[in-house]
Amino acid sequence: MSASPTQPPTDNPAAPTRRDTDSWARPVDRLSTTAVTGGMDTVTGRRVAGPVQGFGQMWQKTFSVRLDGVDMTPEALVAFWKERFPTFWPKGARFYAPLSGIKPGEVALLEVAPVPGSPVKMSTGVMVIYADDESFTFMTPEGHALSAWITFSAFRDGDTTVAQAQALERTSDPFIELTYIFGANRSNDRFWEQTLENLARSVGVASPEVTARKVCVDRKRQWKYVRNLRHSAAVNMAVGTVTAPARWVRRRRTVG
């Protein structure tokens, strides 16, 4: 693919079409954030890494929900979504917004389970690479489980407003690709389905029905990016968890 690492591909139907300068994040070499998390900031100093730089198979996933019976314009819905974005995530996942909110160039921090059922959380983040009145797009940093662009938008279908989340993604490294084969792919889908369900309920939809479309657009695995493992927040977290008892014993011996 020839797309820029900071711009979603033009054939992505959910990608923003406006090219206003103020709506796009300026290119940066290394990330920094004003978000405050209760865990670790593993994003500051990292680079962004979209699906072009990922390891696993590339998927395009589109999740949408109709807001039947809700009198809300797409612009009003997107403004509401930005303002309360963390509240719509499923239980157990945390989104720490930057101080100025979801705006181009800002970096948010996340705490999410790296694989389904994990009792521990992975610390990572996302960069807002685009935001206007009708959509906003996140891009993942090095170390995230996915190398992805994720666009959240709203549009009219007749008289009904539709909320949509669309991701173009690859797993970042072989470890996460393996977890995707054994269930994490479906778990990731369910995460966004629940997010849209929560959004729809919050504006008055009693029984939201989320539609999901998934297409594997590239079945090849990019072995040239196998070294993404060195940045992996999930791998580093797993190593830290496994070696924690040994570190505790060494500290006890040192104190003793």
All residues at 6 or more sequence positions from 201 whose CB lies less than 8 Å from its CB, including other chains? 208
The radius of gyration of the chain's CA atoms, rounded to the nearest angstrom, is: 19
Helix (H) or strand (E) holding 245: helix 233-255
Contacts of 36 (CB under 8 A, 6+ apart): 96, 109
Please list the alpha-helical segments (H only) found in 20-155. 74-83
> Which amino acid type is present at position 169?
E
Provide the sign of the torsion angle of the four alpha carbons 178, 183, 186, 191, taken in this order: negative
Which residues partner with 125 through β-bridges? 109
Side-chain half-sphere CA neighbours of 227 within 13 A: 1
Q: What is the full per-residue pLDDT of the chain (256 aa) written as tens digits?
A: 334 444 444 445 444 454 568 899 999 999 999 998 877 788 999 999 999 999 999 999 999 999 999 999 999 999 999 999 999 999 888 999 999 999 999 999 998 876 555 666 778 899 999 999 999 999 999 999 999 999 999 999 999 999 999 999 999 999 999 989 998 899 999 999 999 999 999 999 999 999 999 999 999 999 999 999 988 876 655 544 444 344 344 555 565 5
List of domains in the chain? 21-255 (3.30.530.20)
Q: pTM here? A: 0.83
**Per residue, what are the HEC states of 152-212?**
EEEEEECCEEEEEEEEEEEECCHHHHHHHHHHHHHHHHHHHHHHHHHHHHHCCCCCCCEEE
Closest CA to 193 of 178, 213, 217: 213
